[in-house]
Amino acid sequence: MTIQPGDRIPSATLMAATADGPKEVSTDEIFAGKTVVLFGVPGAFTPTCSAKHLPGFVQQRAALQAKGVDTVACMSVNDVFVMGAWRKDQGINEEVTLLADGAAAFTKALGLEFDLTGRGLGVRCQRFVLVAKDGVVSHVAVEAPGAFEVSKAEAVLEKL
């Protein structure tokens, strides 16, 4: 079942692509005591993700912060080295934390997996966004396949 408002973020370990290289990070560490916007993308370097989704959150980071957001994080079912390369390609510093869920364990715990095995891509993350305050989800929006409306930065700003 897909995570819903009022649900607690499940405990999991992810890998963060940082300027200093890969870093293991727990969801408890990411979400505890903070307001976090987490958005998921089907894959690093994919067209919509690279041209619109991630850049939108980088551009809107200050506006999100002004509305009380402590952390903006992007998650994908990719390995941390791919996420690190995407970070460099996109010219991201600390505006958005890039998180790798290489085995899709956290994605599955959220109920947001999307099976693209038939297209040679394996299990991926659906395009989504959620807002959590101190680890409790206050908003979640999942895109219909091929859509890019409810999970973009501007849509989240309207919900805060």
> Percentage of the chain surpassing pLDDT 90?
81
Flag whether 145 is in a domain: yes
Q: Is the pLDDT of residue 49 over 90?
A: no
Separation between Cα atoms, residue 72 and residue 140, nearest integer Å:
14
Task: List, in sequence order, the alpha helices (H) in 23-99.
Answer: 27-31, 47-48, 54-59, 61-66, 80-90
Separation between Cα atoms, residue 84 and residue 76, nearest integer Å:
12
The half-sphere exposure of 153 on its side-chain side, counting CA atoms within 13 A, is 22
Give me 7's structure tokens. 């649900």
pLDDT the model gives residue 122: 67
Flag whether 3 is in a domain: no
Q: Show the domain range for 88.
A: 13-159
Number of domains in the chain: 1
DSSP letter (8 states) at residue 15: E
Flag whether 27 is in a domain: yes
Here the CATH number for the domain that contains residue 99 is 3.40.30.10
Flag whether 23 is in a domain: yes
pLDDT the model gives residue 116: 76
pLDDT band of residue 17 (cuts 50, 70, 90) is confident
Flag whether 2 is in a domain: no
Flag whether 5 is in a domain: no
Amino acid at the residue 65:
Q
What are 74-132's pLDDT values in tens digits?
999 999 999 999 999 999 988 999 999 999 999 999 999 988 777 767 678 999 999 99
Are 87 and 45 within 8 A, CB to CB? no
CB atoms within 10 A of CB 131: 23
CB atoms within 10 A of CB 146: 7
> Percentage of the chain surpassing pLDDT 70?
99
Q: Is the pLDDT of residue 61 over 70?
A: yes
Q: Is the pLDDT of residue 42 over 80?
A: yes
Q: Which whole number is the average pLDDT over 16-41?
A: 94
What are 64-82's pLDDT values in tens digits?
999 999 999 999 999 999 9
Residues with a known catalytic role:
49
Q: What is the value of pTM for the model shown?
A: 0.94
